[in-house]
Structures are given as structure tokens and as C-alpha cells.
């Protein structure tokens, strides 16, 4: 998606060979028009898959996921990273390692928001090592539902996430694929 790549080059900050800050339009301050275009791209790619729900992981995936769900006329479910005092034992949970934070967290899905008949589209802001996507997949498949695709806003293609997910048979569609990062350096796969 050319508009996204342009914004990454204009406003993104490569802090080093692993960290790209895009907080001015994606995950702190959000550009709704850009998110709408992101949702349009995901809809076009995934629209004929029989998808029944769009899932994302809080919090940075919410904006692109809600725009995708809105355009596909589907419900969106947010997988929670925080333990909730109002959740009872009626949920699925798995442990996920966060590359960005360097720590583990519990990913939680209420059983009332998924059924074995669901075909799920997972939308996330970044793909690095694939840990977040794998955690979401575990929760979806634990109840017998199917993952019909994974939409990624920004993929760090130099990290193993895509390969890990594709080897397991998942269709990964990324809007911006980064080949190389370095201090003040951002290179895309064409």
C-alpha cells in the first residue's frame, strides 16, 4: 500500500535494526483516513473467504481492525492482554511473548464471542516474530474455529514471523513489508 509506505518514510522513526516507531499515525495518534484505507485494502484481499468475525489484540491493532470489520460488515473482537476482574472462568487464555516489551502476557478471549463455526480474520499492527499472531491462533483454534487469514499493517520481513505462520499454512497479507531497518534507515520489499 503506497500511501502507508509513504507515511512510514515521512513520519516513521527507525530507532535501530529492530524498532520502528509509527506512533504519529498508527499506534498512539491515529489517522482515521489512513485506517479507513487500510481497512479497504484488507477487505479487498479477504472478502471472499467466508469470514464471520475480525479479531485483533489490544491495543494497537484496534484502529485497523475496526475499519476492516466496519467495511466487511462484521463484528470485531478484541483479545485482551490484561486480566479482568469481571471475567469469570468462561474464557480461553494463552501466554504470548511480546517482542516490543520483552516480556510475557496472558492473552484472553471470552468464550461467548467465538464459536466452532467461526472463520476468523486476525488483524494486527506489526508482524515480527509471529508470537502475537500465534497466540491469537491458539485461542481461535482451541474452540474449534478456523483462522481464514492474517492481515498485518507493517511486517518486519527480516524477522521470522511470516515464515513461521506460512509454514503452518496461514495466509499472511501485509500492507507494508520492511526489508531492512537501521538507525534512520527504512527499506521496503517492493
Extended beta strands in 58-115, E state: 76-79, 91-98, 103-110
The reply, when asked if residue 34 is annotated as ligand binding, is no
Peptide bond connecting 72 to the previous residue in cis, omega within 30 degrees of 0: no
Asked if residue 4 lies in contact with residue 22, where contact means CB atoms within 8 angstroms, the answer is no
Sign of CA dihedral 57, 41, 51, 144: negative
Q: Which helix (H) or strand (E) holds 152?
A: strand 146-156
The reply, when asked if residue 129 is annotated as ligand binding, is yes
The reply, when asked if residue 109 is annotated as ligand binding, is no
The reply, when asked if residue 119 is annotated as ligand binding, is no
The reply, when asked if residue 149 is annotated as ligand binding, is no
Asked if residue 17 lies in contact with residue 182, where contact means CB atoms within 8 angstroms, the answer is yes
The reply, when asked if residue 128 is annotated as ligand binding, is yes
The reply, when asked if residue 101 is annotated as ligand binding, is no
The reply, when asked if residue 65 is annotated as ligand binding, is no
Q: Which residues of 53-86 are buried (b: 16+ CB within 10 A; e: fewer)?
A: bbbbbeebbbbbbbbbbebbebebbbbbbeeeee
Cell of 48: 471472499
**Binding region:** 20, 27, 128-132, 156
**Binding region for xanthine:** 20, 27, 156
**Binding region for 5-phospho-alpha-D-ribose 1-diphosphate:** 128-132
Amino acid at each position: 500500500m503506497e500511501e502507508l509506505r509513504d507515511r512510514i518514510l515521512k513520519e516513521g522513526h527507525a530507532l535501530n535494526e529492530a524498532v520502528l516507531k509509527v506512533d504519529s499515525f498508527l499506534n498512539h495518534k491515529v489517522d482515521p483516513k489512513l485506517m479507513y484505507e487500510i481497512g479497504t485494502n484488507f477487505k479487498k484481499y479477504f472478502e471472499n473467504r467466508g469470514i464471520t468475525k475480525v479479531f485483533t489484540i489490544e491495543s494497537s491493532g484496534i484502529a485497523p481492525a475496526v475499519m476492516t470489520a466496519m467495511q466487511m460488515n462484521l463484528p470485531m473482537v478484541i483479545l485482551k492482554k490484561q486480566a479482568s476482574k469481571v471475567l469469570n472462568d468462561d474464557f480461553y487464555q494463552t501466554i504470548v511473548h511480546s517482542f516490543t516489551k520483552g516480556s510475557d502476557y496472558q492473552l484472553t478471549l471470552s468464550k461467548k464471542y467465538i464459536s466452532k463455526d467461526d472463520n476468523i480474520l486476525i488483524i494486527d499492527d506489526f508482524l515480527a516474530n509471529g508470537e502475537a499472531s500465534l497466540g491469537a491462533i491458539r485461542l481461535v483454534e482451541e474452540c474449534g474455529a478456523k483462522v481464514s487469514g492474517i492481515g498485518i499493517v507493517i511486517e518486519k520481513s527480516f524477522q521470522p514471523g511470516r515464515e513461521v505462520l506460512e509454514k503452518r499454512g496461514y495466509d499472511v497479507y501485509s500492507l507494508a513489508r520492511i526489508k531492512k531497518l537501521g538507525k534512520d534507515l527504512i527499506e521496503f520489499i517492493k
